[in-house]
């Protein structure tokens, strides 16, 4: 049995990002105390990048051995390397490249400039995960859309049905761009901790639905991912406004 989700409400988006960054430093230190490397999967979007910006300002970040951190992404838009709409590009610009990471341990999803298809990129990403990460993470950081989608797993989308893979190609995404690569639900479940970072009143209804035990992942994908040791919903007051 996985523990019940824990909800932590912060006053606003900035305080949420700052607190999450400080929490992430502690999680990375704990992970490095357990094993040689800490394994983390990041997310894009404004809040996913804001936590990176906050991370560059956390005093305790210097205690982390960033050469022993292996970085992945929960999903990526199938766009060329350096495209401003890619999650990794947004994270880089927010300060990821300033942390002192070993770039050989920063695993990016191939775009159309490096692969023939989203399927090929998904297969390559899965192979790299099996080689270096074994599909297991210390922390997966996830955002959530107003429709309740998580990573690039959207409501009523066939990509949800893939159960025999680590990563899946996503086509006809209801949110542009149409082609993406995403970790599957089964891969997301192989994390010690899963953190949802959610801010804004436009996400409030989806937050309430995702935390409703009666919700089904087909309708509300964000209701499905659970960490083996902890699932944390780090949200701001606006996003929490529809909770009981």
What are the tens digits of pLDDT across the range 85-98?
999 999 999 999 99
pLDDT at 138: 97
Q: 108 and 174 in contact (C-beta within 8 Å)?
A: no
pLDDT at 133: 75
Tell me the CATH number of domain 6-236, given options 3.40.50.1360, 3.20.20.140, 3.40.630.10, 3.90.1310.10: 3.40.50.1360
The Cα-based distances of 186 to 116, 122, 137, 214, 218 in angstroms read 25, 14, 12, 20, 14
pLDDT digits (tens), the chain, 244 positions:
789 999 999 999 999 999 999 999 999 999 999 999 999 999 999 999 999 999 999 999 999 999 999 999 999 999 999 999 999 999 999 999 999 999 999 999 999 999 999 999 999 999 999 999 765 899 999 999 999 999 999 999 999 999 889 999 999 999 999 999 999 999 999 999 999 999 999 999 999 999 999 999 999 999 999 999 999 999 999 999 999 8
DSSP annotation of 4 reads P
Q: What is the pTM of this model?
A: 0.96
CA-CA distance, 7 to 222, in Å (whole number)? 14
Q: Which residues pair with 167 in a beta bridge?
A: 183
pLDDT at 163: 85
Residues near 89 by Cβ (< 8 Å), separated by ≥ 6? 82, 83
């Amino acid at each position: 049995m996985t523990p019940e989700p824990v909800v932590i409400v912060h006053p606003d988006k900035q305080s949420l990002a700052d607190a999450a960054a400080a929490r992430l430093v502690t999680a990375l230190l704990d992970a490095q105390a357990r094993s040689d490397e800490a394994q983390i999967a990041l997310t894009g979007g404004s809040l996913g990048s804001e936590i990176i910006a906050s991370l560059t300002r956390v005093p305790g970040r210097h205690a982390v051995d960033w050469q022993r951190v292996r970085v992945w992404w929960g999903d990526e838009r199938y766009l060329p390397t350096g495209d401003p709409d890619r999650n990794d590009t947004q994270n880089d610009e927010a300060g990821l490249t300033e942390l002192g990471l070993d770039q050989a341990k920063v695993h990016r999803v191939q775009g159309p400039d490096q692969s023939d298809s989203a399927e090929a990129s998904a297969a390559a990403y899965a192979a790299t995960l099996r080689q270096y990460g074994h599909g297991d993470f210390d922390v997966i950081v996830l955002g959530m859309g107003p429709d309740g989608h998580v990573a690039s797993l959207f409501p009523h989308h066939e990509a949800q049905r893939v159960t025999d893979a680590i990563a899946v190609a996503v086509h006809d995404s209801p949110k542009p761009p149409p082609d993406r690569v995403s970790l599957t639900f089964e891969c997301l479940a192989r994390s010690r901790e899963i953190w949802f970072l959610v801010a804004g009143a436009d996400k409030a209804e989806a937050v309430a639905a995702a935390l409703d035990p009666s919700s089904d992942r087909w309708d509300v994908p964000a209701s499905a991912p659970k960490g083996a040791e902890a699932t944390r919903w780090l949200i701001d007051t606006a996003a929490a406004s529809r909770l009981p």
